[in-house]
Amino acid sequence: MLDLKKIRADFPILSREVNGKPLVYFDNAATSQTPQQVIDVIVDYYSNYNANIHRGVHTLSQEATDKYEAARHTIQKHFNAAHAHEIIYTSGTTHSINLVASGFSSLLQKGDEIIVSALEHHSNIVPWQMLCEKTGAILKVIPMNQDGELVMAEYDKLLNENTKLVFVNHISNALGTINPIEEIIEKAHQVGAAVLIDGAQACPHVKPDVQALDVDFYVASAHKICGPTGVGMLYGKEEWLNKLPPYQGGGEMIAEVSFTKTTYAGLPHKFEAGTPNICGGIAFGAALDYMNAIGFDAIAKYEQELLEYATKALLEIEGLKIYGTAKNKTSVVSFNLEGIHPYDVGTILDKLGIAVRTGHHCAQPIMDYFKIPGTVRASFAFYNTKEEIDTLVSGVKKAKMMLS
Amino acid sequence: MNIQEIQNEIIEEFAMFEDWEERYQYMIDLGKDLPLINAQYKTEDNIIKGCQSKVWVHAELEGDKIAFTADSDAIITKGIIAILIRVFSNQHPKDILEANTDFIDQIGLKEHLSPTRANGLVSMIKQLKLYAIAYQTQLN
């Protein structure tokens, strides 16, 4: 059981008002809120040991380096990576994906195939389209069904010896579907393809074990897991990271430079050119510590309760349709009111202090599939309550009354 | 009435509303009432993609004034369009170019004209001004 009162007190933002009403924050799939424990770490960094890392001999630089590398170990432990140098700090999921895509541009040949899923976020489609244009590789898509689940029989048909790379999100941002990544990874490996899993939406709800999954690359953003924006990570198996060329040139990623030749640094520094988001990396570690102290099992169990409660209450509203009805889904409810534009519903909810996302959620192909301009998406975190869901339900009823 | 007079009239009307609900209900009703654009002009060419809601705009010169028609797939956006059309349509290109939209702030709808709102309205106003430039050139 979660101590909701104590947890909510950790998040200063949850006690503010919006448009004169208590904030109900249901846009957690876009970004999560930050607990005081993480805010304190950020303040402490800038107050006490702000310095550039890995190169200074002075005390502040040493302290900052120690904390930054300690956070890398926290991240390694959290994802159960075999080595700390398999964790590459990035600016977030999008950066991580682009790093892998850029690396593969030197490994792919004309006629090679890349498979992505129909449930992808834009950021998971565009880099691969660019990669295919550059290399002559072919992009193939695993389709989804009416419930928003991937059609695995079609995936089997797409795989062949030309498949070099498979990209699937662990959990869909628009619909909340939890994808069968174990099966996806295993089957890809059978044809010798590498697999990248986008864990941006999964990491707030589950604790992925990259070794148990046997995944080649796994990416995540800190800001969806109670950490700050602008920092994330790429996990890559050592053998794969060694195969990929550096992504950007700059400081930190080199061992030796002369005008004729540069020797690249080893992992992870080869992929970490320039001064990184030091404070962000340290706060990322603190955010994982915070969530692990609460416990992912307890979080997942409570969020499922919220999901069931919200689904039932919302479906009682006549004319409300939920998109994404997969058996395995996380605490996201994407919905529309019949004949009413999601933008209008979101606008009225905002006036009532309720923060939801409206629009296509950067997943236009999914919206095209359902032939809708977008949805209203309410996404719940472990610090939300059933009372807040009641507020949402009465807000949606009010929006319906005003708009129809 | 000139643009300034219409804007003052709208400000007076909105002053009668007690709270946001009344303001929004009024805009929603405006959005519901008006067939704002002739179906033949609701084309891909006339669309302004706002990400969140779509906006269509059409302009025609009638004498020395521009007649605007427009529409949106979201009703609150459409309600605001109705207000903008009331202000800018059937005016001289020169007056349209000189006018501003500060009155929107005064009637409590500022957030809808924020460039980050992605509802197509900021682009729509730019489009109205571009039409005004084009027709003014034509009239000269």
Q: Which of A132-136, A390-394, B129-133 has the highest mean predicted lDDT (pLDDT)?
A: A390-394
- Identify the bridge partners of residue B57 per DSSP, sorted by sequence position: B70
Would you call A358 and B28 a contact, using CB atoms and an 8 Å cutoff? no
d(CA B32, CA B55) in angstroms, rounded, equals 15
Whether A250 has a pLDDT exceeding 70, the answer reads no
Residues A102-131, mean pLDDT to the nearest whole number: 90
Measured in degrees and rounded to the nearest 5, phi and psi for residue A231 equal -145, 145
> Above pLDDT 70, what percent of chain B?
94
Kindly provide the residue ranges of all beta strands, DSSP E only, lying in A112-239, ordered along the sequence.
113-117, 138-142, 163-169, 194-198, 217-221, 232-236
CA distance A189 to chain B (A): 38
CA distance A403 to chain B (A): 7
Selected residue with higher pLDDT from A256 and A288: A288
Pairing state between β A194-198 and A163-169: parallel
Tokens describing residue A204: 């707030």
How high is the mean pLDDT of chain B? 87
d(CA A374, CA A270) in angstroms, rounded, equals 40
Q: Are A378 and A26 in contact (CB under 8 A)?
A: yes
- State whether residue B51 sits within 8 Å of chain A by CB: yes
Q: Which of A199-203, B30-34, B105-109, B119-123 has the highest mean predicted lDDT (pLDDT)?
A: A199-203
Tokens describing residue A320: 């409300």
pLDDT at position B35 is 63
For residue range A324-358, list pLDDT tens digits in order.
999 999 999 999 999 999 999 999 999 999 999 99
For residue range B35-64, list pLDDT tens digits in order.
668 888 888 888 887 667 888 889 999 999
Residue B137, sorted as left (phi over 0), alpha (psi -120 to 50) or beta, turns out to be alpha
Which pLDDT band, with edges at 50, 70 and 90, does A251 fall under? low
How high is the mean pLDDT of chain A? 94
Would you call B75 and A402 a contact, using CB atoms and an 8 Å cutoff? no
- Identify the bridge partners of residue A232 per DSSP, sorted by sequence position: A90, A221
- Residue A155's closest CA among A176, A192, A185? A185
Q: Would you give the distance in Å from CA A183 to the centre of its chain?
A: 20
Whether A302 has a pLDDT exceeding 90, the answer reads yes
Tokens describing residue A77: 């432990």
d(CA A291, CA A304) in angstroms, rounded, equals 17
Comparing CB atoms, the residue among B20, B25, B74 nearest residue A343 is: B74
Q: Are A139 and A77 in contact (CB under 8 A)?
A: no
Whether B100 has a pLDDT exceeding 80, the answer reads yes
Comparing CB atoms, the residue among B51, B73, B76 nearest residue A347 is: B76
Interface size between A and B, measured as CB pairs under 8 A: 38
CA distance B1 to chain A (A): 31
pLDDT at position A221 is 98
Number of H helices, E strands in chain B: 6, 3
- Residues of chain A in contact with residue B23, where contact means CB-CB under 8 angstroms, are none
Whether A314 has a pLDDT exceeding 80, the answer reads yes
The amino acid present at A322, given as its one-letter code, is: I
d(CA B67, CA A75) in angstroms, rounded, equals 61
pTM of the full predicted structure? 0.91
d(CA A20, CA A18) in angstroms, rounded, equals 5
- Residue A354's closest CA among A307, A397, A304? A397
Structure-derived torsion over alpha carbons of residues A158, A159, A160, A162, reported in degrees to the nearest 10: 90
pLDDT at position A282 is 98
Residues 6+ apart with CB under 8 A from B62: B90
pLDDT at position B50 is 65
pLDDT at position B118 is 66
- Residues of chain A in contact with residue B110, where contact means CB-CB under 8 angstroms, are none
pLDDT at position B51 is 66
Residues B91-110, mean pLDDT to the nearest whole number: 89
Q: Are A197 and A181 in contact (CB under 8 A)?
A: yes
Where do the domains of chain B lie, and which CATH numbers do they carry? 3-139 (3.90.1010.10)
- State whether residue A373 sits within 8 Å of chain B by CB: yes
Tokens describing residue A400: 């319906």
pLDDT at position A321 is 97
Residues B92-116, mean pLDDT to the nearest whole number: 85
Where do the domains of chain A lie, and which CATH numbers do they carry? 4-30+295-403 (3.90.1150.10), 39-293 (3.40.640.10)
Comparing CB atoms, the residue among B20, B73, B118 nearest residue A341 is: B73
Comparing CB atoms, the residue among B24, B25, B53 nearest residue A341 is: B53
- State whether residue B30 sits within 8 Å of chain A by CB: no
Q: Are A204 and A30 in contact (CB under 8 A)?
A: no
Tokens describing residue B51: 């990400």
Residues of B identified as active-site: 51
- Residues of chain B in contact with residue A347, where contact means CB-CB under 8 angstroms, are 24, 76
Whether B11 has a pLDDT exceeding 80, the answer reads yes
Q: What angle do CA A242, A142, A101 make, to 5 degrees?
A: 25
Residues B74-102, mean pLDDT to the nearest whole number: 91
C-beta atoms surrounding A402 within 10 Å: 19
Whether B94 has a pLDDT exceeding 70, the answer reads yes
- Per-residue DSSP letters for A82-103? S-GGGEEEESSHHHHHHHHHHH
d(CA A72, CA A90) in angstroms, rounded, equals 12
> Above pLDDT 70, what percent of chain A?
98
C-beta atoms surrounding A215 within 10 Å: 26
Residues 6+ apart with CB under 8 A from B112: B76, B77, B80, B104, B119, B121
Whether A67 has a pLDDT exceeding 70, the answer reads yes
CA distance B33 to chain A (A): 12
Helix axes of B20-33 and B75-88: crossing angle, nearest 10 degrees: 80
Specify the residue for token string 């039932």: A312
